Amino acid sequence: MAATTVRGVVSAEPPESFARRLRQSLRTPIGAAALAAALLLAALAVAGPVVFGDQASKIDTSAMNQGVSGAHLLGTDSLGRDIAARVIVATRLTLRLGLSATAIGLVGGLLLGLAPSVLGRRAGRAVTGVVGVLVAFPGLLFVLFLATIFGIGSTGAVLAIGLALVPTLARLIQNLATSVAGSDYVATARILGVGRFRIVVRHVLPNIVEPVVLFAAQAATGSLIAFAGLSFLGLGVQSPDYDWGRLLNEGLSRIYVNPASALAPGVAVVLAGLVFALLGEAVAQTGGRRTAARAVPAARTPVAMNADGGLAQTPADVDGDALAQLTHLRVSFPGGRTAVRDVSLSVAAGEAVGLVGESGSGKSLTALALAHLVPYPGHVQGVVRFDGHDLLADPRSGRRLGAELAMVFQDPMTSLNPALRVGRQLAEVSEVHLGQSRKAALARAVDRLAAVGIPDPERRARQRPHEYSGGMRQRAFIGMGLMAEPRLIIADEPTTALDVTVQKQVLELLGRVRADSGAALLLISHDLGVVAEVCDRVLVMYAGRVVEELPVSRLFQGAAHPYTRALIGAIPTMTTDLDRELATIPGRPPEPGEEISGCAFATRCAFARDRCRGELPVLAPAAGGAGHRVACWYPRAGDGGTVTDDTDTDDTDTGITRAESEAVA
């Protein structure tokens, strides 16, 4: 909360709008409840002593120490006075004392908190230092210390509690003032020669009003409770006056006779504290509304596993030879977002398959579905098979994936656990899945680190990831996949986060690992060049569907889908004219929630016709030959922009440039 508040503060807004926003948030349920409760409390404080004053102070020797009864709702005290009336009457004194202490704390906190902004650097630092030391002490000890100095009684307690609030409030206000003072408009004012005092009054103060109101509400709760504590200890309000703390003190000594007499004032303190907390909440909502209105809805990146199953499988689709197979995969999220729509793919043993597409095309989720790692609340439907086992139908079979499926993620900087030694992170794989002893597993980890080209692996195994460079972490990560006997490696943008020279080394390493282990590879990338270098077969995804599937040998000469061609055309090469703008694909991909009746690419496609917009093209064998399938009503043929039928062939102004493919390969 603090962070968002501060952010809201820095983006300066006129303070008038705060009042307006406050009125708005008082109309929300919490705001309305806070307002109603505060009004009730105020009414009790004002009218309580007038209405119940006589009843609360009337000594009745015939009704001493009575329990709960119809005449005395909460019983009577040792002088026969009605406790319910006394609790109500005490509201006024309790609130007056608590709020006075809050006021002292707030004034002191503002003075000390803003002092560093007004005073010079050295004096300011001294104030900050003193506040820093004082904040370290628990509030109540500070209160007791001050109460000793100011003496026992209401006045001393108000001073003690008020002053004890100062350090905490000063620290909070200091932080706020510093963040505002660091903003551009204050810097501008300073350059313009506006004095420090004026800057504080004109620029800093109006911009911290909102959080300070929130702090004040919290401080009010705190001082109410502190006062109750102090009076309870006999150091606050003295007889014959009484506040809730004093009543609690008197009630506790009679708790055997009448528990209600001890509980009622305690409940009163808690309820009043709740009212202030609610008010603070309402104010915080005001701040939250401002930031919420501005914030772009953040994309959540949940990372949990989804174990629930999907549709009834269709056995006809099972491919006996495939090591890993997805059939009619659909990954959807609550709220109608469907990220993957009807994707089928298979990876044969030892094969290298590339999965390309731009961000949001669903390629990563497809890979995660294959690894049974789709994040919650993603819903996976279809059939996911690994080595003949249906992962969705039998989630327990996922365990074997630990040994036979290796994952390599995009960002090696965040994918290794920072708290654990690298050797340990590798070793646990074979400990868990191969049942190796701790020692044997660690020896294997060192061996694997050596195998992925990490120098001095014994020492490196004892280090934590932050002592590794980015490339080394990705190597170690690949090494982790080799701890068992992987039959499939899924690499999700393994080189995207690395710099170019390291990218090449990591790709070479992946190739070598594959050659050594005979594992199949599913490489997810948006980089056609990388895929062409490593893979045998390529699948192109767009808006959650596979739009083309072809052997890598045909990628640059024989691609039939306009989208694939556009992707190829967008690759800058050594021969690209540097003076011309880089080729891009115009328009934007559809949102995951959008329902499209025809081809999702139609709006960006220069060759789209009515049929494309109205009817969904299905993946069908292309003219190119074996293993080439395309989902397009009007697939392109030949080495360029010619079309199979007689429509407009002029594509010079479509933004889709011709493939300059040879240079890439």
Partner 1 sequence: MARVEIANAGVDPGGPAAPGGGAGRTAPVGAVPVLRRAAAALTGDTWPGFLVRRTGRLSASLGVVVTASFAMIHLIPGDPVRAALGIAADPAQVAARRHDLGLDRPLPAQYGSFLANLFHGRLGDSIVSQMPVSQIISDRLPATLQLVIPAVLLILLAGIPIGMLAAVLTRDGRRRRGELAFAATTGILAALPEFLLAVGLVAVFAVWWQLFPVAGQSDLSSYVLPVLSLTVVPAASLSRVVRVEALRVLREDYMRTARAKRLPARLVYLRHALPNLLTSSLTIGGLLFTSLLAGTVLVENVFAWPGLGSTIVQAITTKDYPLVQGVVLVYGAAALLITFAVDVAVAAIDPRSTVRGT
Residues between 56 and 75 that touch partner 1 (CB under 8 A): none
Residue 433 touches partner 1, criterion: CB under 8 A = yes
- The residue (of 174 and 657) whose beta carbon lies closer to partner 1 is 174
Which is closer to partner 1, CB of 172 or CB of 550?
172
With CA atoms as reference, report the closest residue to 276 among 612, 33, 488, 605: 33
What DSSP assignment string belongs to 316-368?
GG--TTEEEEEEEEEEEETTTEEEEEEEEEEEETT-EEEEE--TTSSHHHHHH
Q: Which is nearer to partner 1, 371 or 555 (CB)?
A: 371
d(CA 105, CA 169) in angstroms, rounded, equals: 7
Contacts with partner 1, 220-259, as mask; x by CB under 8 A: -x---x--xx--xxxx------------x---x--xx--x
- Six-digit token string for 180: 């505002």
By CB under 8 A, which span of 284-292, 460-468, 525-533, 651-659 interacts with partner 1?
460-468
Angle at Cα 220 formed by Cα 217 and Cα 224, nearest 5°? 150
Distance CA 477, CA 455 (A): 15
Mark 349-388 with x for binding to partner 1 (rule: CB under 8 A) and - for no binding: ----------------------x-x-xxx-----------
Q: What are 327's strand-pairing partners? A: 383
Residues 1, 209, 295, 304: which binds partner 1 (CB under 8 A)? 304
DSSP 580-629: SPPP---S-PPPTT---SS-TTGGG-TT--HHHHHSPPPPEE-TT-TT-E
Rank residues 51 and 413 by Cβ distance to partner 1 and give the closer one.
413
Stretch binding partner 1 (CB under 8 A), from 99-107, 147-155, 511-519, 555-563: 147-155
Find all residues with CB under 8 Å of 614, minimum gap 6, and list them: 597, 598
Contact code string over 23-62 relative to partner 1, x by CB under 8 A: ----------------------------------------
The binder of partner 1 chosen from 151, 182, 336, 587 (CB under 8 A)? 151
| Contact code string over 528-567 relative to partner 1, x by CB under 8 A | ----------------------------------------
Return the closest-CA partner of residue 284 out of 2, 15, 39, 37: 2
302, 529, 572, 586: residue in contact with partner 1 (rule CB under 8 A): 302
Binder of partner 1 out of 303, 618, 623, 663 (CB under 8 A):
303
CA dist., res. 560 & res. 659, Å (int): 12
Applying CB under 8 A, among 36, 79, 149, 295 the residue interacting with partner 1 is 149
- Should residue 389 be labelled a site residue for partner 1 when binding is judged by CB under 8 A? no
Q: Which of 159, 220, 269, 339 binds partner 1 (CB under 8 A)?
A: 269
Residues 446 and 601: their CA atoms lie apart, in Å, by 49
Q: How far apart are CA 56 and CA 60, in angstroms?
A: 11
Per CB under 8 A, does 627 bind partner 1? no
Q: Which tokens belong to 331?
A: 């990954």
Q: How far apart are CA 349 and CA 331, in angstroms?
A: 25
Q: Which two tokens stand for residue 436?
A: 């190796």
From candidates 262, 369, 384, 599, binder to partner 1 by CB under 8 A: 262
**CB nearer partner 1, residue 19 or residue 141:** 141
Give the DSSP H/E element, type plus range, for residue 495.
Answer: none
Distance in Å, CB of 462 to partner 1, minimum? 8
Nearer to partner 1, 20 or 466 (CB): 466
Which tokens in the block code for residue 141? 């000890």
User: Which positions from 393 through 432 interact with partner 1, judged by CB under 8 A?
Assistant: 398-399, 401-402, 407, 409, 411, 414-420, 428-429, 432
480 binds partner 1 (CB under 8 A): yes
> Distance between CA atoms of 324 and 405, rounded to whole angstroms?
10
Which residue lies nearer to partner 1 by CB, 153 or 551?
A: 153
71 or 299: CB nearest partner 1: 299
